[in-house]
């Protein structure tokens, strides 16, 4: 099962945002189910600025590392 979200803002200075989550379950008779939950996100700017890219990467990484 998975969900994917995409936001296309009207403001050209705001990046497009894509994020998704996925959940998998594998079962086998006589064994406990194995499951995995994951996902990701990315930003796609229309007008790229190096300082914005560095700051956005910092914000994303600090919550995942």
Confidence bin at 65 (pLDDT 50/70/90) = low
Handedness of CA 45, 49, 55, 61 (dihedral sign): positive
pLDDT, tens digit, for every residue of 12-60? 888 899 999 999 999 999 999 999 989 988 888 877 788 888 887 888 7
For 38, the token pair is 């994951």
18 labelled catalytic: yes
38 strand-pairing partners: 22
E strand segments, the chain: 2-7, 16-26, 34-44
Catalytic pick among 7, 14, 17, 18: 18
Confidence (pTM): 0.58
- Residue 30 — left, alpha, or beta (φ > 0 → left; ψ -120 to 50 → alpha)? left
Q: What are phi and psi of 45, to 5 degrees?
A: -80, 150
């Amino acid at each position: 099962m998975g969900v994917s979200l995409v936001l296309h803002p009207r403001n050209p200075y705001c990046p497009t945002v894509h994020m998704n989550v996925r959940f998998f379950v594998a079962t086998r008779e006589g064994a406990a189910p194995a499951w995995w939950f994951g996902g990701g996100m990315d930003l796609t700017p229309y007008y790229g600025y190096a300082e914005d890219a560095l700051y956005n990467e910092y914000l994303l990484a600090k919550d995942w590392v």
